[in-house]
Amino acid sequence: MLKKLSDTIAANDYYKLWLKDAWPYITGAILLSVFQIVSLAVAGNPWGVSAAFANWGAWIYEALGGSVGKWYYFSSDGAQAVLERGFLRDPATIRNLGIIAGALFSVLIASGFKVKQIKTKKQVVAATLGGLLMGYGARIAFGCNIGALFSGISMLSLSGWVFGAFLFLGAVIGSKMLVKFFM
């Protein structure tokens, strides 16, 4: 019975149009812009992703008995208010959890979920090093490609365009290094 239901859904034209097939880039751009406006209106601040991860780390550290109150990054009244508000009352955390759940849901309904085998230790090193560098870069730049680029440009900030230029330059250099050292 489950197989029959699955086949029926897979054959549905609306399923193919809205869920199975990839959407055009322009549709994605329009939806991102609409979500940015809604996020700004509801949360009162532009969309960002990486700042919430710093807060997650602080909450975990404090749950283990540490204190981040004297750390420069968390010393402002705004940062302290976010930490006091807690995990599930932080708009950035809710957005990030929504992104994670939405991405998982999307890949599952499109039958695109795959667990890939790690082929070499070089892949692990490249992925770990890349993730650490991107996370560090996002924090020292006070934003990732969403907060510093997308939100920066949408707020008519020159910093968004500068970030974009250096993001492109970093992608070119990083790609060349990836091919040279890890492929």
| Residue 1 pLDDT | 66
Tens of pLDDT, residue by residue over 136-171, are 888 777 777 787 888 888 888 898 899 899 989 989
The pLDDT of residue 2 is 65
Nearest-Å Rg of the Cα atoms of the chain is 20
Calculate the alpha carbon distances from 68 to 60, 62, 74, 80, 87 in Å: 11, 7, 6, 9, 15
Q: Report the predicted TM-score, pTM, of the whole model to 2 decimal places.
A: 0.69
H/E stretch holding 72 reads none
What whole-number distance in Å separates Cα of residue 128 and Cα of residue 119?
15
In 10 A of CB 95, how many CB atoms?
19
The pLDDT-based confidence of 180 (bands split at 50, 70, 90) is confident
pLDDT digits (tens, 9 = 90+) for 40-81: 888 887 788 888 888 999 999 999 999 998 899 898 898 899
Quickly tell me which residue has 């029926």 as its tokens.
8
